[in-house]
Amino acid sequence: MTNLYPNFGQSATATLTAPESHTIIALYDFVASNNDELSFTTGDILIVKHNFDDGWITAELNGITGLVPGNYFVYDQS
């Protein structure tokens, strides 16, 4: 019988390649309501770290990283 999970129980490391960082510009103010969210104001420029399927984005502002709602931004075309 063939082992369907030959590495089960063994530790493994994986390297994830992040997409090229890009910036987004805030269209509205947002006040974080959870510890993992990031507050920002209209016109702030954030660096995108990860896009989630549910519309939230992990982004960085002034060295702080947190979740932000994707529909509050436009992508910086510059």
62-78 pLDDT, tens digit per residue, is: 999 999 999 999 998 87
Per-residue pLDDT tens over the stretch 7-58: 444 444 333 334 456 999 999 999 999 999 999 999 999 999 999 999 999 9
Angle at 54 between CA 70 and CA 52, to 5 degrees: 70
Q: Report whether 72 contacts 28 (CB < 8 A).
A: yes
Looking at residue 77, its pLDDT comes to 83
Q: Where are the domains of the chain?
A: 23-75
Q: Quick one: CATH architecture of 23-75?
A: Roll (2.30)
Looking at residue 20, its pLDDT comes to 53
Q: Report whether 29 contacts 41 (CB < 8 A).
A: yes
pTM for the whole thing? 0.71
